[in-house]
Amino acid sequence: MKPTAKQVGTGASWPPEEGRIITFKSVSDVKKGILKEVRWGLVWRDFILEDGRVIPEHKILGCPEPPVWRKANEVSQDEREAWERRLVSMAEAGLDPRDREQSFWAELNQYLAYTYLRFKQTAHKPPNAER
């Protein structure tokens, strides 16, 4: 860890700035990492750490509740198709989604959540409700 990194404390602005130490809930414990980038996914924001781990915003301690999520109709067709192509190529490259906190796990999780919301919520609505 960089000695200059500052920990996100109570009352810190959200999302934290790059270089800050963030604390997040993992499977069985709480972990820390240095924030490199915050990136919007298809539903929620992902926090990318300097070591490459990808943490969904709602797992970060100190995340405001409820977290801000995108609506399915805010995702463009181009963005969705690029996401789908990326997922398929990661799968074909032999990446394992069980590598938790890695890119493939994060992207597949978001894609399944997004696709579920998109079609679950548009069911029984007027045919042009999505666009």
Overall residue count recorded for the chain in this entry:
131
Instruction: Please state the closest distance from residue 16 (CB atom) to other proteins, in A.
Output: 18
What phi and psi, each to the nearest 5 degrees, are found at residue 29? -150, -170
* 3 or 92: CB nearest other proteins: 92
* 5 or 86: CB nearest other proteins: 86
* 6 or 119: CB nearest other proteins: 119
- Contacting positions for other proteins (CB under 8 A): 25, 27, 43, 56, 58-59, 65-69, 77, 80-81, 84, 87-88, 91-92, 96-98, 100, 105, 108-109, 111-113, 115-124, 127-128, 130-131
Amino acid at the residue 75: V
Beta-strand (E) ranges in 1-129? Answer: 21-25, 30-40, 45-49, 54-56
* 21 or 102: CB nearest other proteins: 102
Contacts for 120-127: CB closer than 8 Å, 24+ residues apart: 121/72, 122/72
Instruction: Give the residue carrying structure tokens 């990318």.
Output: 48
Instruction: Please state the closest distance from residue 99 (CB atom) to other proteins, in A.
Output: 9
Instruction: Please state the closest distance from residue 45 (CB atom) to other proteins, in A.
Output: 13
Instruction: Please state the closest distance from residue 4 (CB atom) to other proteins, in A.
Output: 31
CB 35 within 8 A of CB 19: yes
Q: Supply the DSSP symbol for 67.
A: P
